[in-house]
Amino acid sequence: MKKGIHPEYGAVVFQDPSCDFAILSKSTIKSKDTVKWTDGNTYPLVKLEISSGSHPFFTGKQKLLDTAGRVEKFNRKYKKKKAGEE
């Protein structure tokens, strides 16, 4: 590997404030914010809008959509008219 062309790879804390979920991982992402982790060290902090702690697929709190009603509404709206109908 050539020196000086690769981004710095280090420990980063990813936090989802909506559900108080945080994980320490490694990444090349840069952040101005920092946080003190449970091991006593300070790491860069990246705030996430959604994570496995808040995503409906992982939490099991999915909303079921009325797809049948939506399909019927679409068909009524864009139904092809037969010859002679207006």
Average pLDDT over residues 72-84: 76
In a domain, 58, yes or no: yes
In a domain, 24, yes or no: yes
In a domain, 35, yes or no: yes
9 neighbors 44 (Cβ within 8 angstroms): no
Q: What is the pLDDT of residue 24?
A: 95
Range(s) of the domain holding residue 44? 10-77
In a domain, 33, yes or no: yes
In a domain, 5, yes or no: no
First to last CA, the chain: 71
In a domain, 1, yes or no: no
pLDDT in tens, 12-56: 999 988 888 899 999 999 999 999 999 999 999 999 887 777 766
In a domain, 37, yes or no: yes
Q: What is the pLDDT of residue 33?
A: 94
Helices (H), the chain: 56-59, 67-77
In a domain, 85, yes or no: no
Other residues' Cβ atoms within 10 Å of the Cβ of residue 42? 10
- Structure tokens, 25: 């991982």
- Structure tokens, 1: 């590997």
pTM, 2 dp? 0.61
Domain count of the chain?
1
Q: What is the pLDDT of residue 70?
A: 77
